[in-house]
Chains A and B, each alone.
Chain A
Amino acid sequence: DAGVTQSPTHLIKTRGQQVTLRCSPKSGHDTVSWYQQALGQGPQFIFQYYEEEERQRGNFPDRFSGHQFPNYSSELNVNALLLGDSALYLCASSLTSGWDEQFFGPGTRLTVL
C-alpha cells in the first residue's frame, strides 16, 4: 500500500497564477482533507471532501476550491495566487470524518514569487 501520495512535490508559481495540486488517498479511504502549513506554523484546515462533495470548510477564501473524483482522489485549486499562499499543502485521507483516523501525505511545497 503506497499510502497517501501527493503531486507535485515542489512547485514555483508567480503572483496571479493558478495552481492545481493532486492527492491520491490511501487504499480503501473515501474521505480527503486538505491543509495549509505555513513555515513554522501548524496545519490549517482548508476543506474536506466526501462522496465528491465538500463536507466541511475552514476559513479560506473562495480562491481555494477543490474536487473529488469517483476514485476518491482529489485536487486542490488555488486561483489568483498571492505571496502569502506560499506554504506546504498537506492532504490527508480517512475512512470516516473522524480526525483520529487520518493518514497524511508528504505534502506539496508551493512557492509564490
Chain B
Amino acid sequence: GDSVTQMEGPVTLSEEAFLTINCTYTATGYPSLFWYVQYPGEGLQLLLKATKADDKGSNKGFEATYRKETTSFHLEKGSVQVSDSAVYFCALSERNRDDKIIFGKGTRLHILP
C-alpha cells in the first residue's frame, strides 16, 4: 500500500543554517504531496503542497519539489530561524483511488539561537 518515509529526528541546527528534511513515498498512482507543520502547543497546519510531478510548493521560505523519478518530496529552507522549531510531517493522498491521506511519522526540528 501507499506509504511515506521521513528522516528521523530530532534535527538540531543553528539559526541561519540550511535545512533539508528528506521525504520519500510509495504510491501506485499519482499522488498529491504535502508538508504539514505542528508548532509547539498549536494544531497541525498545511505548510505547502504539490499536485503533480516537477511542481514546486513554497511557503514561508520553505520549498519542496515533487520528484517522480526519485519518489521524493524533500523540504528545504535556505536560512532557518528559531521560530521554525516544530514537528514537520510529509503526507500524500491519491484522490483517484480511495482518497485517503497518509502521513509520515514526523521530524522534530530544533533551531538554536
Chain A contacts to B: CB under 8 angstroms: 3-4, 40-45, 56, 58, 90, 92, 97, 99-100, 102-107
Contact = CB atoms under 8 A, between A and B. Distances in A.
A102 B89 CA distance: 14
B45 interface: yes
Contact of B43 (A44, A99, A100, A107): A107
B106 A42 contact: yes
Main secondary structure on A side of the interface with B: loop
A41 B43 contact: no
Contacts of B49: 100
Contacts of B32: 99-100
Main secondary structure on B side of the interface with A: strand
A41 B100 contact: no
Contact of B45 (A43, A45, A58, A104): A104
B101 interface: yes
Interface stretch (B61-69, B70-78, B91-99): B91-99
Interface of B: 4, 32, 34, 41-46, 49, 89, 91, 93, 98-106
Contacts of B34: 99-100
Contacts of A99: 32, 34, 91, 93, 101
* Residue with the greatest number of chain A CB neighbours at <10 A, chosen from B89, B99, B101, B106: B101
9 contacts: A3-B43, A42-B103, A43-B44, A43-B103, A45-B101, A90-B43, A100-B46, A103-B45, A104-B45
